[in-house]
Structure 1
Amino acid sequence: MKICAVVFLLGVMIKGAASMIHTYRYFQTSSSQISGFPQYVAVGLVNDLVISHYDSNIKRVVPKQEWMNRVTEDDAQYWETETQISLGNEQVGKARIETVKQRLNETGGLHLDQRMAGCDWDDETNEIRGYFQTAFDGEDFISLDWMTQTWVAPKQQAFPTKLRWERIGEALQFKDYFDHICAEYLKRYVRYGEKTLKRKELPEVWFLQKSSSSPVTCFATGFYPDRAMLFWTKDGEELLEDWGGILPNHDGTFQSSVSLDLSSVPTGDWGRYSCVFQLSGVKDDLITKLDPGLIRTNEKKYTPYIVAAACVLGAVVCFLIGYFLYRRYKAKQLSPQSSEPEVMEELNSQPPETQ
């Protein structure tokens, strides 16, 4: 994992601040006999942001980013054309499921056919890389090896497809599509959403710990883009800790975390450790020094509130007891016949606004 991280960082430094690899992915999911789930769903993503959506219930392609509405500036019929393509793909997806079922000698049951196609574009070198892969019932079925332009069929049932596609030169057709059509659309989408897709956002950084004996986790969230690194240092030297990688947030930003076991390190030495965040295109690192007072733990999260609540409750009980004894004393002084239930009734009553 750390070797991959080093290679990644070298790549970032070589590319420079202005370079960025943009991605376009188109996911298609066809299903049969899955209750409550559309029989066909297609989703387009640019740089991991959902830009379009279609499913067999709504029967139309809709934009999922405000800036995607600009596509009609270049093509007034764009959404109608995409809808017609998706309607056709929906029928093709149904046929694919039936074809694979026959190869698997199955007649019914729940089935899922998934496809992903797309391309990457390096905006500095203009290099294009294509992707195409399929899965059936969660298992890889057939995919394109971009480097060799050959088809990979890990399942025996996919071998007839591999032979047929190799015979008709399907790989060359896909390459032509990725190099021209896919790349052209990706560049267009990036132009529409440039302010969003090329922005640089640094994260919020937190220190988390489940208990006093657990590893300390450096958690960074809200950064963009996802070309980033997160790691621990001691006295400025990087530590070889397992990095949790990068995960998406619901708002289109990203998060990452890396943990460090400090159980054998005296608390007084924790200040020698820092969490470092590096974002491609941003010159300065975001360095957060480890401060035990800033660590959020389950123990610390609730203890102050419990103590405060106990103090308040104790004060209330003392007040009520004192108030009760005082009223009882006054009642006996004023009238020996005064009843205790009257005092209890007053104590049990609540102000009208809190009833």
Structure 2
Amino acid sequence: MHTLLFLLLLAGTQSATARTHSLHYFYTASSHVPNFPEFVYVGLVDEVTISHYDSNTMKTEPKQDWMLKATDSQYWESETQKSLGEQQWFKVNSETLKERFNQTEGVHIIQRMYGCEWDDETGEVKGYDQHGYDGEDFISLDLETETWIAPTPQAVITKLKWDNNKALLANQKNYYTQVCPDWLKKYLEHGKSSLLRTELPSMSLLQKSPSSPVSCHATGFYPDSAMLFWRKDGEEHHEDVYVGEVLPNHDGTFQMSADLQVSSIPPEDWRRYDCVFQLSGVKEDIVKRLDKDSVESNREKPTDVTTIIIVAAVVVLALVLAVTGFIVYRKRNAKCPPSPGKDPNVLKPLNPDGQVSNSPSETSS
């Protein structure tokens, strides 16, 4: 099920120049998997979970507040009944597949992914329906030829049976090209405050040391369908470039980095390079030009030699003045001893006009 697993991991990664929206449904039926429901169903719009059912709760439930506005109670009752039917269907087919693959006990997993994608600029619609068994592709629908593709001998029986059901093929084609896109647009309209929001990132150029790559870091953007790359003279540049994965931030936004090795680039050529960020649904690019002044570094800057000399001279001068003052003070006190009975460390009080006042003993006759 390499194709199915690949789509599970990368569904929702679209071009940043035109926003493609998706409505996915995932079914997983398992046997003998500890601490995991025998059947799980999940619905997603643009990779945001909108509905969920499992064999433990036996109930299909909304996962977004706006889904309640887009539907009614009858919808959820109907979805629960449909999920119960799917659960039974998968259980029966699990036994059928065990027979075809000559299997008895052990862990076995059946998966199905179906849905559609819609490009909001071109209006292009794509539908898909794929089934997998124990981690391998089992059978998938080709909407262009309106036939099923069977990559394994065990799936040929299913292919022949489903290909001969023309009514079912016509119904599926209508669903994937008409019904599914209509529901997707309806969900997007009701959930647009969260599904269609865009947040631009803050961008910075970072470098640890002169020999380190310059990392172009973009953080705080939404959605995660974004592109970050380096250009040279206006053309996309891939040599000595490493682009990292899109990572989540704690606030629900995302971040990513693209590193450029600059050790072989002459300083005078730095300005020929720039880092470009593109966000799905946003036409304008964010561009960060590479130059020495725009690169932030955490390495310590060398202290200016002149500054060192000035600081040292000031320190030496202060020490000389302090020592000289102390010597003069000692000599002066040695020549003029205090009067008997007078403490030279006791200050005379000041009168209100700021003049030193005499003590009573000094004014008496």
Name the TM-score, length of structure 1 as normaliser: 0.69
User: Does residue 67 of the first structure (1) align with residue 66 of the second (2)?
Assistant: yes
Residue number in structure 2 paired with 1:180: 178
CA distance in 2, matches of 1:224, 1:153: 39
What are the Cα deviations for residues 142-196 of structure 1, in whole angstroms up to 9, with x where unaligned?
1112222221111111111111110112432211222333222212111111222
The structure-2 alpha-carbon separation of the partners of 1:231 and 1:20, relative to structure 1 and needing over 3 Å to count, comes to closer
Residue number in structure 2 paired with 1:223: 221
Say whether the 8 Å CA contact 1:51–1:64 is kept in structure 2.
yes
Say whether the 8 Å CA contact 1:43–1:50 is kept in structure 2.
yes
CA distance in 1, matches of 2:150, 2:244: 29
Higher radius of gyration, 1 or 2: 2
Shift of the alpha carbon at 1:256? 4.5
CA distance in 2, matches of 1:248, 1:295: 22
**Corresponding residue to 1:150 among 147, 164, 174:** 147
Residue number in structure 2 paired with 1:353: none
Matches within 5 A, 1:1-355: 12=17, 20-72=19-71, 75-169=72-166, 170-207=168-205, 213=211, 215-241=213-239, 244=243, 247=246, 249=248, 255-266=255-266, 269-290=269-290, 300=298
SS of the residue 1:178 aligns to: helix
Say whether the 8 Å CA contact 2:242–2:260 is kept in structure 1.
no
What are the Cα deviations for residues 101-158 of structure 1, in whole angstroms up to 9, with x where unaligned?
1110000101111110101223455443211111111111111122222211111111
Tell which deviates more after alignment, 84-93 or 270-279.
Answer: 270-279
Say whether the 8 Å CA contact 1:21–1:123 is kept in structure 2.
yes
Residue number in structure 2 paired with 1:5: none
**Which structure shows the higher helix fraction?**
1
What are the Cα deviations for residues 72-125 of structure 1, in whole angstroms up to 9, with x where unaligned?
3xx331122111211221121222221111110000101111110101223455
Amino acid at match of 2:153: Q
Shift of the alpha carbon at 1:199? 2.2
Unaligned runs of 5+ residues in structure 1 are 1-7, 13-18, 305-355
Shift of the alpha carbon at 1:33? 0.5
CA distance in 2, matches of 1:272, 1:89: 58
CA distance in 2, matches of 1:96, 1:295: 59
Say whether the 8 Å CA contact 1:118–1:130 is kept in structure 2.
yes
CA distance in 2, matches of 1:55, 1:43: 9
SS of the residue 1:200 aligns to: coil
Name the TM-score, length of structure 2 as normaliser: 0.67
Shift of the alpha carbon at 1:268? 6.7
Say whether the 8 Å CA contact 1:219–1:258 is kept in structure 2.
yes
Residue number in structure 1 paired with 2:338: none
Tell which deviates more after alignment, 125-134 or 110-119.
Answer: 125-134
SS of the residue 1:79 aligns to: helix
What are the Cα deviations for residues 312-345 of structure 1, in whole angstroms up to 9, with x where unaligned?
xxxxxxxxxxxxxxxxxxxxxxxxxxxxxxxxxx
Amino acid at match of 1:171: L
Amino acid at match of 1:153: A
RMSD of the alignment, in Å? 3.2
CA distance in 1, matches of 2:142, 2:254: 29
The structure-2 alpha-carbon separation of the partners of 1:94 and 1:247, relative to structure 1 and needing over 3 Å to count, comes to farther
Tell which deviates more after alignment, 265-274 or 80-89.
Answer: 265-274
CA distance in 1, matches of 2:207, 2:96: 51
Amino acid at match of 1:238: E
Amino acid at match of 1:36: N
Shift of the alpha carbon at 1:23? 0.9
CA distance in 1, matches of 2:19, 2:119: 6
CA distance in 1, matches of 2:246, 2:142: 26
CA distance in 1, matches of 2:267, 2:30: 55
Shift of the alpha carbon at 1:21? 2.8
CA distance in 1, matches of 2:136, 2:207: 37
